[in-house]
Structure 1
Amino acid sequence: MPQKELDQAVQARVEKWIRSDIQSLKAYQVADASGLIKLDAMENPYIWGEELKQQWLAEMQQQSLNRYPDPAGTRVVAGLKEVFGIDQRYELLLGNGSDELIQIIIAALAADNLTVLSPEPSFVMYEMIAKFLRVNYVGVPLGNDFKLDLTAMLDAIEAYQPGVVFLAQPNNPTGNLFGEEKVRRVIEASPGLVVIDEAYLAFAECNALTLLADYSNLLVMRTLSKVGLAGLRLGFLVGHPGWITELNKVRLPYNINQLTQASTQFALANYHQLAEQINQLVTDREQLFESLQQLEGITVWPSQANFLLFRSHTIPAKELHQALIKERILIKCLDGVHPLLTGCLRVTVGAPAENEAFLKALTAILS
């Protein structure tokens, strides 16, 4: 078949068989960071030292890739419980990043016209995965300075009776906490599950695990991506065995590969190295925040995560974003993502030299 006819035939079948709502979506975009200082994806900028790297490589050489991995990730679960002080009465479910866990949770819930609810702006995958699974999604706008509008949240919960509410603590992309009192009110008002997403817990002064003993409808979701292990794609869900047992039935077998499991075990055994990097990033975050505060035409919000959200008042955000790219600095432009993010950009806290390069370029562009 000639190429042109083949292309036309494929397109005709795509239009017939791929859901129309999927055809109308855009795939999740990841910017090309080649040759740029990468400050757009909330990654830990630090790498392991040579000695630790060689020890890790030695561990990798012992892995048998001809065999399937442990389907339950038993040793990984034990390591996570030990390092993060998770009570033995709770069970863990491992996911290929938080994204898979969100998908598992939504897919497992039973309700006609199921609704997923979240404050917004927040992590985009709550809405995207709900749409992929043909589930209703309701976003409740945050209030002034991105605080949780408790009245609006409670009204929405009453109106939509959601099967699951996602609360990111700290919130992405705003970096703030909603406060324990408000979180408790949301949990108590919710008829279905509440999932507290603690992806940025390492950089924050909060811990939702203490709430698990108080509520029967709560799960806590975490990830190792932000602490320096983004390449492993390892997320985990903590909760009462009654919930985890059922959700585990939806998890595809062998979802966490052998090298990820072995690397996670090694990283957890050396977690003190990651903890030192986290402490450094928190210090650098505060210094970067103070520097941004001093720039004219910029409003920056305090953060409990490893990134800072700021608004440009004098230069359009998209223009500023492109100007930074010309200076070899890649950050995230959020203008147009949500009305509350008009004029906003998000910068990941990098190593000191990266932060300095960002500030120097930004200052020059604004002047």
Structure 2
Amino acid sequence: MTTPNPLQNIRQDIQSMHAYAIQDSTGMVKLDAMENPFALPPELQAALGERLGAVAVNRYPGARIEDLKQALARYVNLPEGCALMLGNGSDELISLLAMGCDVPGASILAPLPGFVMYAMSSQLQGLAFHGVQLTADFELDEDAMLAALRQHQPTITYIAYPNNPTANLWDACVIRRLIAEAGSFGGLVVMDEAYQPFSSRSWLDEIRAHPAANANVLLMRTLSKFGLAGVRLGYMLGPQALVHEIDKLRPPYNVSVLNAECALFALEHADVFAQQAATIRAERERLIAALAAMPGVQPFPSQANMVLVRVPDAQKAFEGLKARGVLVKNVSKMHPLLGNCLRLTVGTPDENTQMIAALQASL
């Protein structure tokens, strides 16, 4: 008699999935995950350690979480009529949105190539996912997006601003028309501003200036790129009624007291992180100029802390960089439009100099 296999209780589509892969970066210059490369200055490390040591870790998170929400509301100058909620990184917010919007016939739509979690959240929640290809130069294909919106009437449309992995900001006029189209059938549009510290524009200004036109828009950000990738803290804002409903799905204590205290500390020293972001933006331009000077290498415009670059042979360049101690992301197999592309995180000045030299040698 055969023993029943407990794996039969795990959904077949999940068994056929691959877990999110994290590259081993031991001993490497780590430029593969769009992290802020700067550590806290020693005096702030000591001050944060003292703060965290005094936190009541024997208690569930309480009023301090509300303190953080209020601090974030002040930090972003939360528009009137909007509310804000917290997530354990943006990834949790994306999952909660899929769960909350799982009504009969629901689906999720997003441009491709884009952030993998949009499609993954759809699959895990059992929703249809509709990907719409960008143009060859990574712009939104307005006609294709409008056609897909009209055909599928998705419950959620994701627009990353700027996009990952292409790092560009899309045309605001096109986005306005897509938001209006989604609004015509009651669809939500989620503006994902994960890379906002490095961008020249924010959709929050649009929400503030034209609240009625953005009544179906939620805006999502994270403190990961701000400089706290290890803290796992995302936040989402939008019309009070919408945020109130999604917030019901949040696990009661989804943000730990340590995470909250770290985030509060960072907001109190926002000027330090702003200076780091300014350095990263300057280094991004230096990196793009150096890449553009290499024969056969095409860097694409960036408004994030990464640069997408096309090389003659992505796998060869990736391996060459790795052999020289520099770890980047080979995105060339993620989507046909990304053929022979690498995604380079902008690091410290020294790290970027090493990466430029390693790439030149690898070519």
Decide: shared fold, TM above 0.5.
yes
* Matching residue's letter, 1:209: L
The residue number in structure 2 matching 1:118 is: 110
Instruction: Give secondary structure in 2 for the equivalent of 1:137.
Output: strand
CA contact under 8 A between 1:297 and 1:312: conserved in structure 2? yes
- The AA in structure 2 aligned to 1:123 is F
Q: Does 2:202 match 1:207? A: yes
SS at match of 1:232: coil
**Alignment partner, residue 4 of structure 1:** none
Note the C-alpha offset of 1:87.
2.4
> How far 1:186 sits from its partner (Å)?
0.7
Percentage of pairs with the same residue: 39
Cα distance in 1 between the residues matched to 2:336 and 2:358: 27
> For 1:141 and 1:66, how far apart are their aligned partners in 2?
49
**1:202 counterpart letter in structure 2:** P
Which residue is 2:143 aligned to? Answer: 151
Give matches, 1:176-195, under 5 Å.
Answer: 176-190=168-182, 191=185, 192-195=187-190
Letter in 2 for 1:45: P
State whether structure 2 residue 242 is matched by structure 1 residue 247: no
**SS of equivalent residue, structure 1 residue 144:** coil
**Post-superposition shift, 1:88?**
4.6
**One-letter amino acid of the counterpart of residue 199, structure 1:** A
1:320-358: CA deviation from partner (whole Å, max 9, x where unpaired): 211211111100000111111111110000001100101
**1:232 lines up with 2:231 in the alignment:** yes
Partner of 1:363: 360
Alpha-carbon distance, 1:211 to partner = 3.1
Look up the match of 2:344.
347
1:289 equivalenced with 2:288 (yes/no): yes
Give TM-score, length-normalised by structure 1: 0.94
Q: What amino acid maps onto 1:338 in structure 2?
A: H
How far apart are the structure 2 equivalents of 1:70 and 1:322?
A: 48
SS where residue 353 of structure 1 aligns?
helix
Matched, 1:168 2:160: yes
Helix, strand or coil at the partner of 2:36: coil
Residues in 2 aligned to 1:265 and 1:9: alpha-carbon distance in whole angstroms: 53
- Could you say which residue in structure 2 is the equivalent of 1:104? 96
Q: Which residue of 1 aligns with 2:307?
A: 308
Would the aligned equivalents of 2:136 and 2:337 in 1 still touch at CA under 8 Å?
no
Cα RMSD of the aligned pairs, angstroms, is 1.5
Q: SS at 2:159's partner residue?
A: strand
Change (3 A) 1:226 1:9: farther
Q: Residues of 1 paired with 2:271 and 2:80: CA distance? A: 22
Partner Cα separation in structure 2 for residue 231 and residue 110 of structure 1: 30
**Is 2:31 the partner of 1:68?**
no
| In 1, Cα distance between equivalents of 2:299 and 2:214 | 35
Give yes or no for the alignment of 1:337 onto 2:334.
Answer: yes
Contact 1:209 1:220 in 2 (8 A): yes
Taking the aligned partners of 2:80 and 2:144, their CA distance within structure 1 comes to 36
Instruction: Give the whole-Å Cα distance in 2 for the aligned partners of 1:266 and 1:202.
Output: 17
Match of 2:191 among 196, 201, 214: 196
Supply the distance in 1 between the matched residues of 2:223 and 2:148 (Cα, whole angstroms): 32
User: Which consecutive unaligned segments of at least 5 residues does structure 2 have?
Assistant: none
> Given the superposition, is the C-alpha separation of residues 358 and 160 from structure 1 closer, same or farther in structure 2, using an over 3 Å criterion?
same
Note closer, same or farther for the CA distance 1:88–1:261 as it changes in structure 2 (3 Å cut): farther
Give the aligned residue type for 1:353: D
Kindly tell me the number of residue pairs found equivalent between the two proteins.
356
Contact 1:71–1:253 (8 Å) recurs in 2: no
Q: Which aligned segments of 4 or more residues in structure 1 are displaced greater than 3 angstroms?
A: none
Shift of 1:113: 2.3
**One-letter code aligned to 2:326:** I
Q: What letter matches 2:204 in structure 1?
A: L
Q: Which runs of 5+ in 1 are unaligned?
A: 1-7
Contact 2:299 2:310 in 1 (8 A): yes
What is the CA deviation profile of residues 37-63 of structure 1, one whole-angstrom value per residue up to 9, with x for unaligned ones? 000000000011111111111111110
Equivalent residue letter for 1:299: Q
The SS at the match of 1:231 is coil
